[in-house]
Amino acid sequence: MRHVAHLGIGPVGFRIGSDWRGPIAQLETLYRDYPKPSIPDFSVHLFAARPWRKYLRPSVMIGGDYTIPDAAPLPLAQGLLAAEMGMNLQMALAQRRYLLLHASAVERDGKAVLMTGISGAGKSTLAALLMARGWRLMGDEFVLIDPATGLAHGFPRLISLKNQAIAVAQAAMPEGRFGPLLPGTPKGDIRHLVPDARAIRAMAEPAQPALLLFPRFGFDAAERPVPPSEAFVRLTQSSTNYVHLAERGFDALTRLVQSVPARAIDYPDTDSGIALVEALA
């Protein structure tokens, strides 16, 4: 690979290679304050499907230590997104040290609030806005639960803001560092937000899970407790490696839902969403 970047996110190191300079330059700019572990946990590479596709209508294939067959290529303009997807893919397919929850998380006073839900529930948006209000961002995509300690480890990669959330986050964080606007991706418009200095500085510090939230955007404000049984089932669905971890995964998840209160919250707009989270935490 001609162009290579190393970066560490939370407890995980990546090596990213690319046939093109562009995506690596963007990663190096946006991740400039992140550590650069010399021996990574996973490798990702972005490559042209055919040699001439490097130049002619360039399209980016995502490769790596672990891949799924038939993944669709992205246009070179979305190379940054391809790199992020490649890193997520390694985590989803092969992370076995931690129980992986598809969730965002923020921390205050050593206590972590975990937010999980379907795409569009507002995980990333809520996490970004809570960061703007002084919470430590632990991540907007994955939370890593250590089966040995029950502690949550952060994975604060770039925050992936989609569609309307982009303007909301820009209004809340006029000083924030944003990546290029990526219009027309498979998930609509995407713009990445760099986690603040505190999130990056503290990214190796785990936190005690204190609250599990299942947010839903676009409904009248409401809140109800979620019993451990329901939380368990919902979290098995939002974990990419629960089945592979087998008994360790079951023990970690049982411990989490039995020791941490869970709430489902509906919110009509981000202001009331933030108010609900802060009232519960």
Partner 1 sequence: MTPGWRLAAVLRDPGRTEHFSARQWTELFAVARAEQMAGTLAHRLDGLDLHPTVQRLVDDAIASAGQVRLAALWEAEMARRALAPLGVPVVLLKGTAFAAAGLSPSLGRNIGDLDILVPRERMDEVEAALLAAGWEWVKPDPYDDAYYRRWMHELPPLIHRERDRMIDVHHTILPLTARIRPDAGALLADSEPLENGLRTLSRTDLLVHAVAHLLADGDLAGGMRNLWDFHCLVQDGGTMGLAERARHHGLGREMARAGRLSHALYGTEVPFEWQALKPLDHLYLRRLTARDGWGRQGRRLTRLGFYVRSHWLRMPPLMLARHLWTKYRKGYRPVG
Is there a contact between 123 and 131 (Cβ–Cβ < 8 Å)?
no
Residue 39 touching partner 1 (CB under 8 A): yes
Residue 38 touching partner 1 (CB under 8 A): yes
- Residue type at 21? R
For 212, residues 6+ apart whose C-beta sits below 8 A from its C-beta are 114, 116, 226, 231, 235, 256, 257, 260, 261, 262, 263
Residues 47-86 that bind partner 1 (CB under 8 A): 47, 63, 65-66
Considering the complex, state which of residue 11 and residue 120 has its C-beta at the smaller distance from partner 1. Answer: 11
Choose the binding region for partner 1 from 181-189, 243-251, 257-265, 273-281 (rule: CB under 8 A): 243-251
Residue 246 touching partner 1 (CB under 8 A): yes
Residue 150 touching partner 1 (CB under 8 A): no
Choose the binding region for partner 1 from 12-20, 22-30, 232-240, 260-268 (rule: CB under 8 A): 12-20
3-state secondary structure of 232: helix
Alpha-carbon gap, residue 251 to 146, rounded angstroms: 11
For 248, residues 6+ apart whose C-beta sits below 8 A from its C-beta are 99, 147
Indicate the length of the chain as a whole number. Answer: 281
Closest CA to 117 of 262, 220, 221, 12: 262
- Min dist. Cβ of residue 266 to partner 1 (A): 34
Alpha-carbon gap, residue 106 to 180, rounded angstroms: 25
- Which phi and psi (to 5°) does residue 201 adopt? -60, -40
* One residue of 2, 21, 96, 201 binding partner 1 per CB under 8 A: 96
Place of tokens 């009331």: 272
- Min dist. Cβ of residue 13 to partner 1 (A): 7
Residue 153 touching partner 1 (CB under 8 A): no
Choose the binding region for partner 1 from 36-44, 125-133, 209-217, 232-240 (rule: CB under 8 A): 36-44
Residue 104 touching partner 1 (CB under 8 A): no
Considering the complex, state which of residue 28 and residue 65 has its C-beta at the smaller distance from partner 1. Answer: 65
Residue 172 touching partner 1 (CB under 8 A): no
Residues that bind partner 1 (CB under 8 A): 1, 13, 15, 17, 37-41, 43, 45, 47, 63, 65-66, 96-97, 244-246
